[in-house]
Structure 1
Amino acid sequence: MKVVELFDMNQDSMNNLQTSWLSYFVSFFTYWFHMSPLAMGLVDGDELELEYKINQLKKELIQIAKETGLNSPDTIYCSQQLDQLITLYQKGKYGDGSLSSLQ
């Protein structure tokens, strides 16, 4: 019976196994979490600014809806503005990656 050293990278079969396992893990991680594992620490400043604006507008929308009602023109206008910001955020995060239309 032949003994196989699992961590001996000089053997071709183990080299292929370790490389394919690592490739599978990286591709699964990237697909599952929608991010590159090597760029996890990088966060776009425009994205953070847009998240802040979205959260502020959510609070404003709730306040306007409490004061004027759900069907008031002010509530609908604020809701439309929030929809535009959320769409912009999603395009930047999942689309082409640019938030150039933020300005």
Structure 2
Amino acid sequence: MRNVVLAHALARDLNVSAAVIAAFADAPNFHTAHRVRSSGSELLPGPGKPLITPLSYQSIIAMTQSLSRQASDWGDLAAWVNRKIEHVLLKPRHKLRNHI
């Protein structure tokens, strides 16, 4: 939330539009991912101007990988992110809540 407040204050002081990306791990059982899919989770400071745009780590990596000259490095990062998500998903349900 500090980043949102800072972005808004800087944008106001510099007379520009603010934009913040909220990165999240996308998986079926993750609360944030579910919330983004169901509502979009965008905060609107003015008419049609989203302040926060949610993007999954997976989508950020895929976009970057498609533009990179070293796509294999991004592929390695994508694999690492997916392993971390799988690790959390394999934990018993009562422990999963602490990671969402």
TM-score normalized by structure 1? 0.34
Higher RCO structure (Cα 8 Å, ≥6 apart): 2
Q: Which has the larger radius of gyration?
A: 1
Q: TM-score, normalised by structure 2?
A: 0.35
Q: Which has the higher strand share?
A: 2
**As a proportion of its length, which structure holds more helix?**
1
